[in-house]
């Protein structure tokens, strides 16, 4: 078999995925923490004050990375939802549903920190403009996906139904991204551009990008952590889960004969 | 140091924003561990009941 196809088949196997995710997990958390400390030190201590906003602009180092992640995670969830719907791959169902709470957290942080930032800069906590409203819709989409997934008894049917909702909600992503160009809004446009030069001092840019990478690793760690637990739940009756449950700190574990080997 | 915490007069906005960031991510971070404990406890309970049933009527 083609080695790439073989690799995909292996990754699709729950016990192998569980083991590999367990190995990657500590590294992702460690990288997230280290990069987070470095990025926040650069942002809070090393970066100079903004000429207009003074030190209030330092909220950018959490607000913008979280905002990027709120959309990145949604995209990840939608892609895995698509794979789950088309090819019925169990791991993709798990990954899509494990991503949703992480994305919810990032979206909530974006909205709350943005609101706190808006008070001194715009003079208001909230305004119903395009960027803020579409980001709020994104939060409700995450809630919808999580709620639908929780409302259906059969785990696999639930994740496919929720994946479908996630796919429909993808239409909101370009609206969030382009809202600052399409409508008149209080929210400023992009200062960091993928194509072309960014409109930001390099002493502010590197902590921002470091935080962006740190939040990516946090997402990876949380995703792996959550999907491992979800796999245990979904595969509850299987032998490999029984072995995992026996081997992990089981104070209440029932005595099995000869399972320790 | 107190200059750092004052944030040029914006401390009352900057620090609550950072507190939100750490609090929400901390909650998000411990959720899987809590769920893992619950799932494993449920599974062990199920296996125990199964064992007992098999023991009662072999």
Q: How far is B58 from chain A (nearest CA, A)?
A: 17
What distance separates the 2 farthest-apart alpha carbons in chain B? Answer: 76
The answer to whether residue B24 scores a pLDDT higher than 80 is yes
pLDDT at residue B4, as a whole number: 86
Average of per-residue pLDDT values in chain A = 89
The answer to whether residue A254 scores a pLDDT higher than 70 is no
Q: How confident is the model at residue A173 (pLDDT cuts 50, 70, 90)?
A: very high
* Residue labelled with tokens 């992640």: A69
pTM, full prediction:
0.90
Rounded to an integer, what distance in angstroms lies between the CA atom of residue A214 and that of residue A32? 4
The answer to whether residue A259 scores a pLDDT higher than 60 is no
Phi, psi of B29 (to 5 degrees): -75, -30
Closest Cα in chain A to B41:
A252
pLDDT at residue A199, as a whole number: 79
The answer to whether residue A132 scores a pLDDT higher than 60 is yes
Rounded to an integer, what distance in angstroms lies between the CA atom of residue A252 and that of residue A250? 5
Rounded to an integer, what distance in angstroms lies between the CA atom of residue A30 and that of residue B1? 28
Asked if A140 and A70 count as a contact pair (C-beta separation under 8 A), the reply is no
Query: Six-digit token pair at A158?
Result: 């639930």
Q: How confident is the model at residue B58 (pLDDT cuts 50, 70, 90)?
A: low
Interface test with B, best of A46, A56, A114 (most B CBs within 10 A): A56
Exposed/middle/buried for A150, CB within 10 Å: 0-12, 13-18, 19+?
Answer: exposed
A44, A109, A248 ranked by CB distance to B20: nearest = A109
Asked if the C-beta of A90 comes within 8 angstroms of chain B's C-beta atoms, the answer is no
Mean pLDDT of the region A142-166? 95
* Residue labelled with tokens 């409302």: A151
The answer to whether residue A253 scores a pLDDT higher than 50 is no
- For residue B5, what are the contacts with CB-CB under 8 A and spacing of at least 6? B11, B15
Cβ contact B17–A112 (<8 Å): yes
pLDDT at residue A184, as a whole number: 79
Domain boundaries, chain B: 2-56
Which pLDDT tens digit goes with each residue over A191-224? 777 677 777 888 889 999 999 999 999 999 999 9
Mean pLDDT of the region A9-32? 90
Bigger pLDDT: A145 or A201?
A145
Interface test with A, best of B19, B20, B35, B52 (most A CBs within 10 A): B20
Complex prediction ipTM: 0.89
pLDDT at residue A193, as a whole number: 73
Range from A19-33, A73-87, A246-260, B25-39 carrying the lowest mean pLDDT: A246-260
pLDDT at residue A28, as a whole number: 97
Rounded to an integer, what distance in angstroms lies between the CA atom of residue A33 and that of residue A191? 26
Identify all chain A residues contacting B4, using CB atoms and an 8 Å cutoff.
Answer: 44-45
Rounded to an integer, what distance in angstroms lies between the CA atom of residue B16 and that of residue A190? 24
Range from A22-31, A46-55, A143-152 carrying the lowest mean pLDDT: A46-55
Bigger pLDDT: A178 or A8?
A178
Interface test with A, best of B19, B22, B32, B33 (most A CBs within 10 A): B32
Phi, psi of A122 (to 5 degrees): -105, -15
Q: How far is B50 from chain A (nearest CA, A)?
A: 11
CB pairs under 8 A between A and B: 99
Asked if the C-beta of A109 comes within 8 angstroms of chain B's C-beta atoms, the answer is yes
Helices (H) and strands (E) in chain A, counts: 9, 0
Across-strand partners of A50?
Answer: A54
Closest Cα in chain A to B24:
A105
């Amino acid at each position: 078999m083609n080695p790439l196809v073989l690799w995909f088949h292996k990754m699709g196997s729950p016990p192998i995925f569980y083991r590999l995710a367990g190995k990657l997990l500590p590294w992702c958390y460690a990288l997230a923490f280290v990069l987070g400390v470095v990025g926040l030190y650069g942002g809070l201590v090393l970066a100079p004050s903004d000429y207009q906003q003074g030190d209030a602009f330092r909220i950018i180092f959490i607000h913008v990375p979280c905002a990027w992640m709120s959309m990145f995670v949604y995209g990840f969830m939608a892609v895995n939802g698509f794979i789950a719907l088309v090819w019925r791959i169990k791991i993709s169902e798990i990954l899509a549903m494990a991503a949703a709470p992480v994305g919810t957290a990032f979206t909530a942080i974006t909205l709350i920190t943005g609101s706190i930032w808006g008070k001194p800069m715009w003079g208001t906590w909230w305004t119903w403009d395009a960027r803020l409203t579409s980001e709020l819709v994104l939060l409700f989409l995450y809630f919808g996906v999580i709620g639908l997934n929780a409302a259906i008894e059969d785990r696999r049917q639930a994740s496919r139904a929720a994946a479908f909702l996630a796919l429909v909600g993808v239409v909101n992503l370009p609206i969030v991204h382009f809202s600052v160009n399409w409508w008149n809004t209080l929210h400023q446009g992009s200062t960091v551009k993928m194509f072309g030069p960014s409109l930001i001092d390099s002493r502010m840019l590197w902590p921002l990008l470091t935080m962006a990478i740190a939040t990516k690793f946090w997402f990876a760690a949380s995703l792996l952590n959550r999907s491992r637990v979800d796999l245990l739940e979904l595969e509850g009756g299987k032998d490999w889960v029984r072995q995992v449950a026996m081997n992990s700190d089981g104070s209440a574990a029932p005595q099995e004969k000869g399972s320790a080997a | 140091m107190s200059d750092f915490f004052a944030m040029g007069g914006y401390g009352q906005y900057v620090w609550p924003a950072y507190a939100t960031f750490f609090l929400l991510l901390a909650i998000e971070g411990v959720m899987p561990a809590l769920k893992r404990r619950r799932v494993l406890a449920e599974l062990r309970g199920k296996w125990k009941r199964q064992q007992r049933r098999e023991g009662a009527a072999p």
